[in-house]
Structure 1
Amino acid sequence: MSEPDLKGVTALVTGANSGIGLPTARELARRGAHVLIACRNETRGRAAVEHIRRTTGTETEYVPLDLASLASVHALADRLADRLDGLDLLINNAGVGLIARRLTEDGFEKQFGTNHLGHFALTGRLLPLLTARPQARVVTVTSDSHEEGEIDFDDLAAERKYGRMSAYARSKLANLLFAQELQRRAVVAGLDLLSLAVHPGTTATNIGALPKPVKKLVGLFLQSADKGAEPTLYAATSPGARPSGYYGPGPAPLMPADRALDKDLAVRLWEISEKLTDVPFLLTHRPGVR
């Protein structure tokens, strides 16, 4: 099957300076897309831009984004609203995992605040740009660890109970619930928007907080970041990707855990996420859009 031609496509990839985000951005650029490299560290972001230029001969662009800061999310969204007339592809890729309990600058537990709430707010703010383009896609990177995730709405800051893995699993469950609910709401609003989720597989990335020697040893048994990026690229570009699709290594379709398909849970999470971030999703119906 031939690769989709992405000339004229504008894509934003969060966390595109490392992990699976870098090969994702590199491949999108190689196929012709104009890619925005969104990450919090300018030095690493510009290094990613240079790496892509050197390896593919294409130009990408660094844009500052710290998903643990709602102010940073708003600043980027405002900047793009002034510069772009539309956005074809948003890849919610960045994440933190397996860290000791910390808070974001807005007071959220950091894994939940970065992995879910930061991407929730970013998607909401960029929705006008996404809906300005036909068949725009939002791809959210989750994990099979969502199967172990539980959301205690009475302890979202994890003050009473915190575990590095359980907090990560909770954030990944939230990612998948969000992706599913975004598609449902887009359909109701009559928007020509695809929301998809992906599980990259067990991949050698920088997301964990393991000591360097342990990471090096574990990395011998993990797939490369390039392989881990394949499900994301499939969801982002393949004509065969379906609304609400969840794709994993192969790439192949996966079945989410039952709790990730719980519509009541998704609605409750959506509503509280809007309140916590103060970012309402303007899902208004556009006549003539199928």
Structure 2
Amino acid sequence: MIVKSLSRKVASFGQLIGYMGRDLRTGEGRAVLFHNLLAHAGSPEADIQDEFERNAALLPQRANGNALYHEVISFSQGHALDSRTLEHKLGDVAHAYVASRAPKQLAYAVAHLDTEYAHVHLLISANAVNSRKRERVTKHDFARIQRELESYVLAHHPELVQARVYTRDRQVEQVKTTAKEQGLLTRTGKPSRKQAVHDQVKHCLALAKSREDLERHLAAQGLELYARGSTVGVKELAGVGTKHRLSTLGLAEAWTQQNQRWHEATLDPVAKRKAALEQAAQVRDQTHTKEAPSSPGRDRSR
């Protein structure tokens, strides 16, 4: 299961409601949530749009201010549920999500059951009901919400057969030391040269805004980036030019993630969205098997 949030600066409520409702007209979709709305399953789309627009009109004009959020909860294959059962389960997941993500805001959700991967589209207002203030969810809080929702789904809807994505154990990479290096650390209490290089490279990775920028930071530390096939490492410019692979420094994953961030920074908005969806498609098919922790709070109001 993947949870994505896309903010919009323009109050394009009608366009998004129409997009979300395309499957309602074919019978392949279901409106599953009307949070803090007077509208209901039998209401015209124009009535739903009017409620969002009237609430958004309370917001003061501000450059780059968010007008709404389009969020998607997508589910991987594997379940054997009929469409009616699937609709109820996705509706329950949407209610649990909104209860944690936007309890005071307007939210409208439609479950799409016609694709290879079932998913729920959500329209969430930028402000709470009758409020002139935009609600903000930090990256840290959103990550927590993703974890809690995943735990909820695993615990309460095992029939959806979802893999762990946000709550799976992540192996922490460590510097790979030899017995000699470990013995030196034990005797002297001082970190090895490899550990010192690890600390330098990690610091440079955190500072660098591009690969070229990284190379400049490394050069200032007396290090040089090198690549041989798929192997990437750093070379000490002093002495005999000792080489250290990033994998032995415990920085292979950090290097991969930083490269991804640099790449995304060069993309235009459309390409960024495409890249995010492609990454989500890759992640959601992974399988993990660990018992789920406690679930988030739920809001059963419709």
- Superposition TM-score tier, normalisation by shorter sequence: under 0.3
TM-score (norm 2): 0.24
Which of the two has higher C-alpha Rg?
2
TM-score (norm 1): 0.25
Higher relative contact order (CA 8 A, sep 6+): 2
